[in-house]
Structure 1
Amino acid sequence: MIVQRREAWTGRVFLVLLMVATIVPFVSLFVTALHQSGTYPAGLEWPSKPHWENFLTAFTAAHMGELLGSSVLIVLGVVPVSLLLATMAGFAVGHLKMAGRRPVFLMFVLGLTLPYESIITPLYYQIRDMGLLNTRWAIILPLIGLFMPFGVFWMRAHFVTMPGDVSEAAQIDGANTWQQFWRIHVPLAMPAISSLAILLFLWTWNQFLLAIVLVDDPTQRTMAGALGAFQGQWGTDIPLLCAGSLLVLTPTYVIFLIFQRRFVSALLQGSLKG
């Protein structure tokens, strides 16, 4: 009993320390963003007169309206296609008894070990030869391919736990493989699909490296990628830089807070099935 209480208190202390270590940097950003533009704040000192107008100044200076539209277009180009392809491939290698599914799955697993930083140079020349450099397609198409290994791995983990009796019953009722996929397995996989959609959204929205390497125009990048241009212009103005960073991060906070229950439920569902 004493050991259990000690373990419980140790876990709570660890969670509190982890929460503090996570929240303090964002609090520091917020407090710094409220100082007068052009100053160099020290620590977590709350300003005597908060300058809320810094957020409006950063929004205008960084052309956040155009960046928001660009990021939405990139997300709409990446996330739905990636979800569709990953779900279909995960269903094929995880549930269907297709020939060669193990080598195919191992190839996707191998893709998880490949850091895309190592392929950025050949990717640049390939995108240039395709005539897509400095366009949003230079971000959308590579991201779809780069997300496939994880997406297929994620969806296979769901479909591999689905009992074969479900498909056999559908076959008896006259449903072909395509009908089984859309009418039975996709609705049952919605927790896994929705949680994968959240992850893909966050990764796409916060994409930085591909945006700054493959696109020169900041208004054609993601919001995170355009932050590099904003930093080059306002790098010496710490309060405005912090305000711009918070504006870029805000959509990801909102999305995660709205869908956190669905995301956690999908993770718990996977742990219970496993």
Structure 2
Amino acid sequence: MAHGERLKAMTLYAILIVFLIISVLPIFWFVMVALKDAAELNSNPFALPKAITLDNIIEAWTVGKMKRYFVNSVIVAVPRVFAILVLATLAGYAFGKLKFPGRDPLFYFILIGMMVPIQAMVIPLYYTMQNLGLINTYWALIIPSLGLAMPFAIFMMRAFFRDIPDDMMDSAKIDGCGDFKTFLYIMLPLMVPAVTSLLVFEFAASWNEFLLPLLFVYEDTYRTLPLGLMYFSGEYTTNQSLVAAGVTIAVVPIIIVYVIFQRKFIEGITAGSVKG
């Protein structure tokens, strides 16, 4: 390797390491704070803990009711993400590979949903949920967010399907496969990186959803982690270790999901998914 290329590579790695530190340092710091005793945190907030304790996390999980908020977030996130994956994959296949009257106008009409800010829809959404009797229910947290997420999900899946050569569909049809069998046995296995990318995106969006739970949920029984964390932080503001423990409980599931699916996620992101 020439000297100039080596210097360029070293500079690139140095920049990447700096951005890695900037990204990871806040997460590392609040996890360390969560594992510190409150007295030690007050005396030296930026030092590593002399003795690691799980008392703050246990107290946040039990006394701070983070367990209930965690379960609520799972109840909301799992069906929402599953429904988005199923519906967006089918719709992306239809818009990307099938030919039917009005396909393109209908697709562009769906894309309008990406252009309208959610703040412009919260008032009619609230009255709709109220008229349906869904305020203070899990359905109020699942149904609107599902609809709001579909335009981007369909756009993303359609782009991936359009990158798959049409010859594969033609070969499947010659072998006697219908449209659904072609989708299920030919297309879907090739879409694993794309589906995984969408799963990570939508799980993170659902897990971090704050505005809709704030509008539709008043009872503590149905609060999700972001909303519960707001009340938790207000109640335990003076105890930063407990607040950090609550934040840790809220963030760790997203990190776990990303670590589990990171390989396919990166494949999906680098597969040219913004084409088409």
| Fold shared per TM-score above 0.5 | yes
State yes or no: 1:159 paired with 2:161: yes
**Counterpart position of 1:8:** 9
| Equivalent residue runs for 1:120-269 within 5 Å | 120-269=122-271
Structure 1 residue identity aligned to 2:224: T
CA contact (8 A) 1:218 1:229 kept: no
CA contact (8 A) 2:66 2:228 kept: no
State yes or no: 1:32 paired with 2:33: yes
**1:167-187 deviation line (CA, Å, top 9, x unaligned):** 222222332222222222222
CA distance, structure 1, for counterparts of residue 61 and residue 72 of structure 2: 15
CA distance, structure 1, for counterparts of residue 3 and residue 267 of structure 2: 32
Structure 1: runs of 5+ lacking an equivalent: none
CA distance, structure 1, for counterparts of residue 187 and residue 175 of structure 2: 15
**TM-superposed deviation, 1:226:** 1.6
CA distance, structure 2, for counterparts of residue 200 and residue 81 of structure 1: 11
**1:209-238 deviation line (CA, Å, top 9, x unaligned):** 211221112331322222122122212221
| Equivalent residue runs for 1:34-53 within 5 Å | 34-37=35-38, 40=42, 43-53=45-55
| Equivalent residue runs for 1:65-104 within 5 Å | 65-104=67-106
Judge which range, 106-115 or 193-202, deviates more: 106-115
Judge which range, 99-108 or 34-43, deviates more: 34-43
**TM-superposed deviation, 1:110:** 3.0
Structure 2 residue identity aligned to 1:205: W
CA contact (8 A) 2:35 2:53 kept: yes
**TM-superposed deviation, 1:67:** 2.4
**Counterpart position of 1:109:** 111
Judge which range, 147-156 or 116-125, deviates more: 116-125
Judge which range, 243-252 or 121-130, deviates more: 121-130
CA distance, structure 2, for counterparts of residue 161 and residue 55 of structure 1: 46
Structure 2: runs of 5+ lacking an equivalent: none
**TM-superposed deviation, 1:252:** 1.0
> What secondary structure does 1:269 align onto?
coil
Question: What is the root-mean-square deviation of aligned Cα atoms in Å?
Answer: 2.3
CA contact (8 A) 2:156 2:273 kept: no
CA contact (8 A) 1:37 1:237 kept: yes
1:48–1:83 CA distance, 2 compared to 1 (3 A): closer
CA distance, structure 2, for counterparts of residue 255 and residue 9 of structure 1: 31
- Normalization by structure 1: what TM-score? 0.90
CA contact (8 A) 2:214 2:227 kept: yes
1:41–1:239 CA distance, 2 compared to 1 (3 A): farther
1:47–1:151 CA distance, 2 compared to 1 (3 A): same
CA contact (8 A) 1:58 1:240 kept: yes
Aligned-pair identity (%): 34
> What secondary structure does 1:160 align onto?
helix
CA distance, structure 2, for counterparts of residue 114 and residue 3 of structure 1: 48
- Normalization by structure 2: what TM-score? 0.89
CA contact (8 A) 2:159 2:275 kept: no
**TM-superposed deviation, 1:139:** 0.7
Q: How many residues align?
A: 274
